[in-house]
Structure 1
Protein backbone atom coordinates (compact mmCIF):
# COMPACT_ATOMS: atom_id res chain seq x y z
CA UNK A 1 0.00 0.00 0.00
CA UNK A 2 1.35 3.36 -0.91
CA UNK A 3 2.10 5.95 1.72
CA UNK A 4 -0.63 8.24 0.33
CA UNK A 5 -3.28 5.55 0.55
CA UNK A 6 -2.13 4.67 4.07
CA UNK A 7 -2.33 8.34 5.17
CA UNK A 8 -5.76 8.74 3.55
CA UNK A 9 -7.05 5.60 5.27
CA UNK A 10 -5.64 6.74 8.63
CA UNK A 11 -7.22 10.19 8.21
CA UNK A 12 -10.59 8.66 7.34
CA UNK A 13 -10.51 6.38 10.39
CA UNK A 14 -9.57 9.30 12.67
CA UNK A 15 -12.37 11.42 11.18
CA UNK A 16 -14.95 8.70 11.79
CA UNK A 17 -13.74 8.18 15.36
CA UNK A 18 -13.80 11.90 16.16
CA UNK A 19 -17.30 12.26 14.70
CA UNK A 20 -18.45 9.35 16.80
CA UNK A 21 -17.00 10.96 19.94
CA UNK A 22 -18.67 14.31 19.18
CA UNK A 23 -21.97 12.52 18.52
CA UNK A 24 -21.67 10.72 21.87
CA UNK A 25 -21.01 14.03 23.69
CA UNK A 26 -24.02 15.63 21.98
CA UNK A 27 -26.21 12.65 22.87
CA UNK A 28 -25.11 12.81 26.53
CA UNK A 29 -26.01 16.51 26.61
CA UNK A 30 -29.48 15.68 25.27
CA UNK A 31 -30.02 12.95 27.83
CA UNK A 32 -29.44 15.32 30.79
CA UNK A 33 -30.33 18.89 29.87
CA UNK A 34 -29.86 19.99 33.49
CA UNK A 35 -26.35 18.60 33.87
CA UNK A 36 -24.91 22.09 34.25
CA UNK A 37 -27.64 23.32 36.63
CA UNK A 38 -27.03 22.90 40.34
CA UNK A 39 -29.73 20.75 41.97
CA UNK A 40 -29.83 23.02 45.02
CA UNK A 41 -30.41 26.04 42.78
CA UNK A 42 -33.37 24.28 41.16
CA UNK A 43 -34.85 23.43 44.56
CA UNK A 44 -34.44 27.01 45.76
CA UNK A 45 -35.97 28.42 42.56
CA UNK A 46 -38.96 26.10 43.00
CA UNK A 47 -39.40 27.15 46.66
CA UNK A 48 -39.41 30.81 45.62
CA UNK A 49 -41.96 30.13 42.89
CA UNK A 50 -44.26 28.22 45.26
CA UNK A 51 -44.05 31.03 47.80
CA UNK A 52 -44.93 33.62 45.14
CA UNK A 53 -47.82 31.45 43.89
CA UNK A 54 -49.17 31.08 47.42
CA UNK A 55 -48.98 34.86 47.92
CA UNK A 56 -50.92 35.37 44.68
CA UNK A 57 -53.63 32.94 45.84
CA UNK A 58 -53.84 34.64 49.24
CA UNK A 59 -54.18 38.04 47.54
CA UNK A 60 -56.91 36.62 45.28
CA UNK A 61 -59.08 35.35 48.15
CA UNK A 62 -58.49 38.43 50.31
CA UNK A 63 -59.32 40.84 47.46
CA UNK A 64 -62.64 39.03 47.07
CA UNK A 65 -63.21 39.00 50.84
CA UNK A 66 -63.67 35.23 50.92
CA UNK A 67 -64.39 33.66 54.28
CA UNK A 68 -62.04 30.83 53.40
CA UNK A 69 -60.43 27.73 54.82
CA UNK A 70 -57.00 26.44 53.81
CA UNK A 71 -56.94 22.66 53.47
CA UNK A 72 -53.79 20.81 54.57
CA UNK A 73 -52.99 20.19 50.88
CA UNK A 74 -52.79 23.96 50.19
CA UNK A 75 -56.21 24.45 48.56
CA UNK A 76 -58.06 27.60 49.59
CA UNK A 77 -61.82 27.07 49.61
CA UNK A 78 -65.09 28.42 50.85
CA UNK A 79 -68.48 26.80 51.16
CA UNK A 80 -71.19 28.91 49.56
CA UNK A 81 -74.09 26.64 50.43
CA UNK A 82 -74.42 23.41 52.37
CA UNK A 83 -76.76 20.88 50.82
CA UNK A 84 -77.74 19.28 54.10
CA UNK A 85 -76.72 15.74 53.15
CA UNK A 86 -73.99 13.79 54.89
CA UNK A 87 -73.00 11.45 52.03
CA UNK A 88 -69.43 12.13 50.91
CA UNK A 89 -67.72 10.38 48.00
CA UNK A 90 -64.91 7.91 48.44
CA UNK A 91 -62.60 6.10 46.04
CA UNK A 92 -64.52 4.62 43.10
CA UNK A 93 -67.69 6.69 43.62
CA UNK A 94 -68.84 8.91 40.76
CA UNK A 95 -69.46 12.56 41.58
CA UNK A 96 -71.76 14.49 39.24
CA UNK A 97 -71.21 18.23 39.50
CA UNK A 98 -71.40 21.52 37.64
CA UNK A 99 -68.29 23.63 37.48
CA UNK A 100 -66.79 26.80 36.12
CA UNK A 101 -63.02 27.12 35.87
CA UNK A 102 -61.05 30.37 35.83
CA UNK A 103 -57.52 31.63 36.15
CA UNK A 104 -56.64 34.02 38.96
CA UNK A 105 -56.96 36.91 36.50
CA UNK A 106 -60.64 36.02 35.96
CA UNK A 107 -60.27 34.48 32.50
CA UNK A 108 -62.87 31.71 32.10
CA UNK A 109 -61.57 28.40 30.83
CA UNK A 110 -63.26 26.19 28.25
CA UNK A 111 -66.91 27.20 28.74
CA UNK A 112 -68.67 30.40 29.78
CA UNK A 113 -71.59 28.60 31.44
CA UNK A 114 -71.21 25.94 34.15
CA UNK A 115 -70.32 22.59 32.65
CA UNK A 116 -71.75 19.31 33.91
CA UNK A 117 -69.01 16.83 34.71
CA UNK A 118 -68.78 13.32 36.09
CA UNK A 119 -65.65 12.14 37.87
CA UNK A 120 -64.89 8.71 39.32
CA UNK A 121 -62.93 9.56 42.46
CA UNK A 122 -59.28 8.47 42.38
CA UNK A 123 -59.85 6.39 39.26
CA UNK A 124 -59.98 8.90 36.39
CA UNK A 125 -57.50 11.28 34.87
CA UNK A 126 -58.26 14.72 36.31
CA UNK A 127 -56.61 17.30 38.49
CA UNK A 128 -55.44 15.57 41.67
CA UNK A 129 -56.63 18.49 43.79
CA UNK A 130 -60.12 18.12 42.36
CA UNK A 131 -60.22 14.45 43.38
CA UNK A 132 -59.00 15.34 46.88
CA UNK A 133 -61.40 18.23 47.42
CA UNK A 134 -64.54 16.56 46.06
CA UNK A 135 -64.21 13.99 48.86
CA UNK A 136 -65.04 16.76 51.36
CA UNK A 137 -68.44 17.68 49.96
CA UNK A 138 -71.96 16.29 49.71
CA UNK A 139 -74.82 16.58 47.19
CA UNK A 140 -76.25 20.10 47.19
CA UNK A 141 -73.02 21.72 48.40
CA UNK A 142 -71.74 24.71 46.45
CA UNK A 143 -68.09 25.66 46.89
CA UNK A 144 -65.37 27.81 45.43
CA UNK A 145 -61.75 26.72 45.61
CA UNK A 146 -58.36 27.68 44.32
CA UNK A 147 -56.14 24.75 43.40
CA UNK A 148 -52.43 25.57 43.43
CA UNK A 149 -50.72 24.67 40.17
CA UNK A 150 -49.14 21.52 41.64
CA UNK A 151 -52.65 20.18 42.37
CA UNK A 152 -54.16 21.46 39.13
CA UNK A 153 -52.33 21.11 35.79
CA UNK A 154 -48.78 21.20 37.14
CA UNK A 155 -45.67 22.60 35.59
CA UNK A 156 -46.70 22.27 31.94
CA UNK A 157 -50.34 23.38 32.14
CA UNK A 158 -52.87 21.61 29.96
CA UNK A 159 -51.16 22.58 26.69
CA UNK A 160 -54.35 24.39 25.69
CA UNK A 161 -55.93 27.13 27.80
CA UNK A 162 -53.98 26.70 31.05
CA UNK A 163 -50.42 27.96 30.93
CA UNK A 164 -47.41 26.80 32.89
CA UNK A 165 -47.82 26.74 36.66
CA UNK A 166 -51.28 28.29 36.77
CA UNK A 167 -53.51 28.01 39.85
CA UNK A 168 -57.13 27.26 38.92
CA UNK A 169 -60.26 28.72 40.52
CA UNK A 170 -63.23 26.34 40.57
CA UNK A 171 -66.86 27.17 41.32
CA UNK A 172 -68.60 23.83 41.91
CA UNK A 173 -72.08 22.60 42.77
CA UNK A 174 -72.30 18.91 43.69
CA UNK A 175 -75.41 17.39 42.10
CA UNK A 176 -75.19 13.77 43.16
CA UNK A 177 -72.90 10.97 44.20
CA UNK A 178 -73.23 7.53 42.68
CA UNK A 179 -71.73 5.15 45.22
CA UNK A 180 -69.65 2.21 44.09
CA UNK A 181 -71.58 -1.04 44.43
Structure 2
Protein backbone atom coordinates (compact mmCIF):
# COMPACT_ATOMS: atom_id res chain seq x y z
CA UNK A 1 0.00 0.00 0.00
CA UNK A 2 2.80 2.36 0.90
CA UNK A 3 4.50 1.65 -2.44
CA UNK A 4 1.39 2.50 -4.43
CA UNK A 5 0.84 5.74 -2.52
CA UNK A 6 4.48 6.69 -2.97
CA UNK A 7 4.39 5.98 -6.73
CA UNK A 8 1.16 7.95 -7.12
CA UNK A 9 2.63 10.94 -5.29
CA UNK A 10 5.77 10.91 -7.44
CA UNK A 11 3.79 10.59 -10.68
CA UNK A 12 1.47 13.49 -9.69
CA UNK A 13 4.46 15.61 -8.76
CA UNK A 14 6.19 14.95 -12.09
CA UNK A 15 3.05 15.61 -14.10
CA UNK A 16 2.22 18.83 -12.26
CA UNK A 17 5.74 20.29 -12.58
CA UNK A 18 5.70 20.00 -16.35
CA UNK A 19 2.68 22.26 -16.87
CA UNK A 20 3.69 25.24 -14.73
CA UNK A 21 4.50 28.32 -16.79
CA UNK A 22 5.55 31.63 -15.29
CA UNK A 23 3.02 34.39 -15.71
CA UNK A 24 3.98 37.60 -17.45
CA UNK A 25 3.41 40.66 -15.32
CA UNK A 26 0.88 43.07 -16.75
CA UNK A 27 1.77 46.71 -16.43
CA UNK A 28 -0.99 48.59 -18.21
CA UNK A 29 0.35 51.97 -17.18
CA UNK A 30 3.67 51.25 -18.92
CA UNK A 31 1.89 49.95 -22.04
CA UNK A 32 -0.25 53.08 -22.24
CA UNK A 33 2.83 55.29 -21.81
CA UNK A 34 4.74 53.46 -24.55
CA UNK A 35 1.80 53.60 -26.96
CA UNK A 36 1.28 57.32 -26.31
CA UNK A 37 5.00 57.98 -26.71
CA UNK A 38 5.06 56.12 -30.04
CA UNK A 39 2.05 58.13 -31.28
CA UNK A 40 3.62 61.40 -30.18
CA UNK A 41 6.91 60.55 -31.93
CA UNK A 42 5.11 59.61 -35.15
CA UNK A 43 3.28 62.95 -35.08
CA UNK A 44 6.53 64.84 -34.52
CA UNK A 45 8.18 63.05 -37.45
CA UNK A 46 5.19 63.77 -39.72
CA UNK A 47 5.25 67.47 -38.79
CA UNK A 48 9.01 67.68 -39.36
CA UNK A 49 8.77 65.95 -42.75
CA UNK A 50 6.07 68.40 -43.84
CA UNK A 51 8.32 71.30 -42.75
CA UNK A 52 11.16 69.78 -44.79
CA UNK A 53 8.90 69.54 -47.84
CA UNK A 54 8.04 73.24 -47.57
CA UNK A 55 11.70 74.25 -47.21
CA UNK A 56 12.76 72.05 -50.13
CA UNK A 57 10.08 73.51 -52.42
CA UNK A 58 11.07 77.06 -51.47
CA UNK A 59 14.77 76.38 -52.05
CA UNK A 60 15.68 77.31 -55.62
CA UNK A 61 19.46 76.92 -55.60
CA UNK A 62 19.78 73.49 -54.02
CA UNK A 63 18.51 70.09 -55.10
CA UNK A 64 17.76 67.99 -52.01
CA UNK A 65 17.84 64.20 -51.83
CA UNK A 66 16.48 62.01 -49.05
CA UNK A 67 18.64 59.59 -47.10
CA UNK A 68 17.70 56.20 -45.63
CA UNK A 69 18.34 57.65 -42.15
CA UNK A 70 15.46 60.13 -42.50
CA UNK A 71 17.26 63.38 -43.28
CA UNK A 72 17.58 65.44 -46.46
CA UNK A 73 20.80 66.71 -48.02
CA UNK A 74 22.03 68.84 -50.92
CA UNK A 75 25.45 69.89 -52.13
CA UNK A 76 26.41 73.56 -52.04
CA UNK A 77 29.82 72.69 -53.44
CA UNK A 78 30.35 69.30 -55.08
CA UNK A 79 33.77 68.00 -56.08
CA UNK A 80 34.62 65.56 -58.88
CA UNK A 81 34.22 61.87 -58.07
CA UNK A 82 37.95 61.31 -57.52
CA UNK A 83 37.77 61.09 -53.71
CA UNK A 84 35.92 58.52 -51.62
CA UNK A 85 33.42 59.04 -48.85
CA UNK A 86 34.53 58.65 -45.23
CA UNK A 87 34.03 55.19 -43.76
CA UNK A 88 34.35 53.73 -40.27
CA UNK A 89 37.76 54.41 -38.76
CA UNK A 90 38.73 57.30 -41.06
CA UNK A 91 39.76 60.54 -39.36
CA UNK A 92 37.86 63.55 -40.67
CA UNK A 93 38.04 67.24 -39.87
CA UNK A 94 35.11 69.47 -40.69
CA UNK A 95 33.48 72.76 -39.83
CA UNK A 96 29.79 73.38 -39.60
CA UNK A 97 27.07 75.82 -38.71
CA UNK A 98 23.62 75.23 -37.28
CA UNK A 99 20.50 77.09 -38.37
CA UNK A 100 16.86 76.59 -37.59
CA UNK A 101 14.71 75.13 -40.36
CA UNK A 102 13.99 78.62 -41.74
CA UNK A 103 17.68 79.46 -42.11
CA UNK A 104 18.05 81.65 -39.01
CA UNK A 105 21.58 81.25 -37.65
CA UNK A 106 21.85 79.58 -34.23
CA UNK A 107 25.58 78.73 -34.07
CA UNK A 108 28.22 79.84 -36.58
CA UNK A 109 31.45 78.11 -37.58
CA UNK A 110 33.58 80.21 -35.21
CA UNK A 111 31.42 79.34 -32.19
CA UNK A 112 31.52 75.63 -32.98
CA UNK A 113 35.13 75.44 -34.21
CA UNK A 114 36.66 72.80 -36.44
CA UNK A 115 35.85 69.25 -35.35
CA UNK A 116 38.13 66.25 -35.84
CA UNK A 117 36.92 62.74 -35.09
CA UNK A 118 37.12 59.08 -36.09
CA UNK A 119 34.08 58.14 -38.16
CA UNK A 120 31.66 55.88 -36.26
CA UNK A 121 34.13 55.47 -33.39
CA UNK A 122 33.67 58.63 -31.33
CA UNK A 123 30.72 60.17 -29.57
CA UNK A 124 29.08 62.88 -31.65
CA UNK A 125 25.43 63.73 -32.25
CA UNK A 126 23.89 61.33 -34.80
CA UNK A 127 23.24 64.17 -37.28
CA UNK A 128 26.95 64.89 -37.67
CA UNK A 129 27.98 61.22 -37.51
CA UNK A 130 25.65 60.34 -40.39
CA UNK A 131 25.88 63.55 -42.41
CA UNK A 132 29.67 63.53 -42.73
CA UNK A 133 29.48 60.19 -44.57
CA UNK A 134 27.78 61.95 -47.49
CA UNK A 135 30.65 64.36 -48.15
CA UNK A 136 33.92 64.05 -50.02
CA UNK A 137 37.00 66.16 -49.32
CA UNK A 138 36.29 69.83 -50.07
CA UNK A 139 32.54 69.42 -50.42
CA UNK A 140 29.99 71.54 -48.62
CA UNK A 141 26.63 69.97 -47.85
CA UNK A 142 23.38 71.38 -46.54
CA UNK A 143 21.45 68.96 -44.36
CA UNK A 144 17.91 69.07 -43.02
CA UNK A 145 17.95 66.90 -39.90
CA UNK A 146 14.88 65.77 -37.94
CA UNK A 147 15.04 66.47 -34.22
CA UNK A 148 15.66 62.84 -33.27
CA UNK A 149 19.05 63.00 -35.03
CA UNK A 150 19.98 66.31 -33.40
CA UNK A 151 19.20 67.27 -29.83
CA UNK A 152 15.80 65.55 -29.56
CA UNK A 153 13.42 66.16 -26.71
CA UNK A 154 16.07 67.95 -24.60
CA UNK A 155 17.37 70.65 -26.91
CA UNK A 156 20.78 72.04 -26.04
CA UNK A 157 19.60 74.19 -23.17
CA UNK A 158 20.57 77.41 -24.94
CA UNK A 159 19.53 78.24 -28.51
CA UNK A 160 18.09 74.93 -29.70
CA UNK A 161 14.61 74.07 -28.47
CA UNK A 162 13.06 70.71 -27.75
CA UNK A 163 12.13 68.58 -30.77
CA UNK A 164 13.55 71.22 -33.13
CA UNK A 165 14.52 70.10 -36.64
CA UNK A 166 17.71 71.81 -37.78
CA UNK A 167 19.60 72.84 -40.89
CA UNK A 168 23.33 72.08 -40.82
CA UNK A 169 25.88 73.31 -43.35
CA UNK A 170 28.96 71.08 -43.17
CA UNK A 171 32.30 71.45 -44.99
CA UNK A 172 34.70 68.49 -45.04
CA UNK A 173 38.21 69.95 -44.56
CA UNK A 174 40.36 66.82 -44.11
CA UNK A 175 39.90 63.13 -44.75
CA UNK A 176 42.60 60.73 -43.58
CA UNK A 177 41.87 57.13 -44.51
CA UNK A 178 42.35 54.44 -41.90
Task: State TM-score, norm by structure 1.
Answer: 0.71
Q: Which segments of structure 1 move beyond 6 Å, counting only runs of 4 or more? A: none
In structure 2, runs of 5+ residues without a counterpart are 1-28
Summarize deviations over 1:113-136 as a string: whole Å, max 9, x none: 584222321122222122122112
Summarize deviations over 1:85-139 as a string: whole Å, max 9, x none: 3222111222112211111133322336584222321122222122122112210
- Residues 77 and 143 in structure 1, CA contact (< 8 A), matched pair in contact too: yes
Match in the other structure for 1:80 = 76
Distance 2:164 2:158 in 1: 12
Does residue 108 (structure 1) correspond to residue 105 (structure 2)? The answer is yes
Aligned match for 1:93, one of 81, 90, 94: 90
Q: How many residues align?
A: 148
Match in the other structure for 2:40 = 45
What root-mean-square deviation, in Å, do the aligned CA atoms of Structure 1 and Structure 2 show?
2.3
- Residues 92 and 119 in structure 2, CA contact (< 8 A), matched pair in contact too: yes
Aligned match for 1:64, one of 59, 83, 102: 59
- Residues 140 and 174 in structure 1, CA contact (< 8 A), matched pair in contact too: yes
Task: State TM-score, norm by structure 2.
Answer: 0.72
